[in-house]
Amino acid sequence: MDEKNEQESSNQAVQTGADTVATRRRVLMLGAATATTVLSVRPALAQSAASVLNCTIPVPGAGETGKAVGLDGALVPVGTPDSHPGGQMFRGEDVRNALRGRSLPGTGYSESQAYMNYIRRLQYGRSGFTCYASLQMPR
């Protein structure tokens, strides 16, 4: 009986060793798959971040709509007091900087505020909405 017990415990040790090797193999394979995934996803995230900064948001002008941009961001008839002509295109990076307190490039304070109010009011389906919505997404 002692020989039989020794042989069973020896078989269990071999099985345990085989299980350990199999478990290690699984962990290594999982680690390799994870590393591949991380390497694949990082460039995609970097590319999408860069494309968000290079997207454009147009502010319509009198030539396109016959309207100007009021201080509150609404499109108003040309000649309305405190309105600005519009007709400009801003990059996502410029808008992101303006959201942080800078003025839009080529504009004064009042004009920048009017254009930013217009951009904040953009709704689904309007040109530039997707770009603006992408700037609002947390990274």
SS3 80: coil
- Is the pLDDT assigned to residue 86 strictly greater than 80? yes
b/e code 94-131 from CB counts within 10 Å (16+ = b): bbbbbeeeebbeebeeebbbbbbebbeebeeeeebeeb
Could you tell me how far CA 120 lies from the centroid of its own chain?
A: 17
Distances (CA, A) of 108 to 17, 46, 99: 74, 32, 15
> Tokens 């040790």 appear where?
13
Given 28, 50, 72, the domain boundary residue is 50
Q: In the chain, what is the greatest distance between 2 CA atoms, to the nearest angstrom?
A: 107
Residue 87: per-residue pLDDT: 87
Residues 108 and 83 in one domain: yes
> Tens of pLDDT along 49-63?
556 678 889 998 877
Given 32, 50, 68, the domain boundary residue is 50
Which domain does 68 fall in, by range? 55-136
- Is the pLDDT assigned to residue 7 strictly greater than 90? no
Residues 113 and 131 in one domain: yes
H helices within the chain, ranges in order? Answer: 2-54, 62-65, 92-99, 109-120, 129-136
Residues 38 and 61 in one domain: no
